[in-house]
Amino acid sequence: TDDTTLQTLPAIEFDAHRQKLGNTGFHYRLDSEFRSFYRQDTDETAAEPKVTGQRFDLYPRLYYPAKLGKYLSFDPFIGARGTAWHARDYTDAGGDDENVRTRGIYEAGAHLSTGFDRVFSLNSGTVDKVKHKIIPKIEYRFVSEEHEEDQPIFDAIDEITDENLVTWSLTNTFTTRSTITKPDGTPENSYKEVAWIKLYQDYNIKYERDGSNAADDPWQDLKLKYELYPCTYLKSDGEIALDPNNQHFKEVKVGATVKDTRGDSIHTAYRYESSTTHSWLTRFNAMITSYLMAYYSFENDLDDNKTIETLAGLRFDKECWRLALEFKDSSADKTIAFMVTLKGIGEFGSK
């Protein structure tokens, strides 16, 4: 039988995290990559032609954060995304067999937020104060439309769809203050965030404008994300999505991580997505030295009691760079990846 499994050959990424643009008041962010894709066998007749090729993707964004009065923060942004493909033996739905394809899309939006906080005195043995902060936020994001049928599909970057969304969110954080004694006997305040909880929901303006022909209700899933740090060596996090129309859970991801002072850790998580996923994930991290870590993880399907994916690897971390060797065995294929990350610059490697 033909093997049309998609493989990623050596790739180069260059990313710049959000940062100030000199003294202009603007911030910028950049994501970019060059990636090669390979299949042992191709199939140009499939609904999504399974071909080989290369892709270059450039995605810069520009922000201008500002204060509106004393209490409101306003963060507008614009962005553009340019993508170019060179796909061999590719013919689109219209019969065009040109090897080189390009795509240009743009986005714009803004965030408007404020914050309220209050400090509570506990005067317990370890914690004397707790700060509770509430952050209401309204976000808007528009992504222009592009016709995907004219371009090859390799992964999610090739399947970006148009968006016209308004998102409301309510974030709660809880930070404790403790008094510790320094080695010289003087007291010092220590602060720790023990809980982060975010409730949010999207409203799709595109569906509202479609009227009776809307593909879906404009109100999207009601989602909850959280991170809890009950003690130094324990963390719990999760994400839950509820369909507001039928009151059924669309997604449940709940996990916990236990670690020690060396950096060794065990992470376990329950995952559920309606009609697609019902599994349990377990991961072990072991610090061999202060720079070298070994890890192993496996994910089991809870419905048919089969292993979905097994992952094993080694990671070597230094201050400015990282090396990683990883083996993955999934139901779809087996891969070996070698990655080099230059921190603050980007990463490249092969798979």
Q: Quick one: 274 and 148 in the same domain?
A: no
Band (331; pLDDT cuts 50, 70, 90): confident
pLDDT value at residue 346: 47
Of 98-107, 200-209, 251-260, least confident by mean pLDDT is 200-209
In a domain, 310, yes or no: yes
Q: Quick one: 44 and 153 in the same domain?
A: yes
Q: Quick one: 152 and 24 in the same domain?
A: yes
- Assess whether pLDDT exceeds 80 at residue 1: no
Of 103-112, 122-131, 264-273, 310-319, least confident by mean pLDDT is 122-131
- Assess whether pLDDT exceeds 80 at residue 245: yes
Q: Quick one: 295 and 157 in the same domain?
A: no
Domain end position, chosen among 161, 189, 220 = 161
The whole domain housing 278 covers: 260-350
In a domain, 136, yes or no: no
Q: Quick one: 269 and 152 in the same domain?
A: no
Band (89; pLDDT cuts 50, 70, 90): confident
Q: Quick one: 8 and 149 in the same domain?
A: yes
Q: Quick one: 289 and 153 in the same domain?
A: no
In a domain, 240, yes or no: no
Band (192; pLDDT cuts 50, 70, 90): very high
- Assess whether pLDDT exceeds 60 at residue 92: yes
In a domain, 271, yes or no: yes
Q: Quick one: 149 and 31 in the same domain?
A: yes
In a domain, 296, yes or no: yes
Higher pLDDT, residue 227 or 146: 227
Q: Quick one: 43 and 153 in the same domain?
A: yes
In a domain, 83, yes or no: yes
The mean pLDDT of 21-33, rounded to a whole number, is 94
Q: Which residues 6+ apart lie within 8 Å of 32 measured at CB? A: 13, 14, 15, 56, 57, 58, 59, 346
Band (133; pLDDT cuts 50, 70, 90): very high
In a domain, 63, yes or no: yes
Q: Give the chain's domain count.
A: 2
In a domain, 297, yes or no: yes
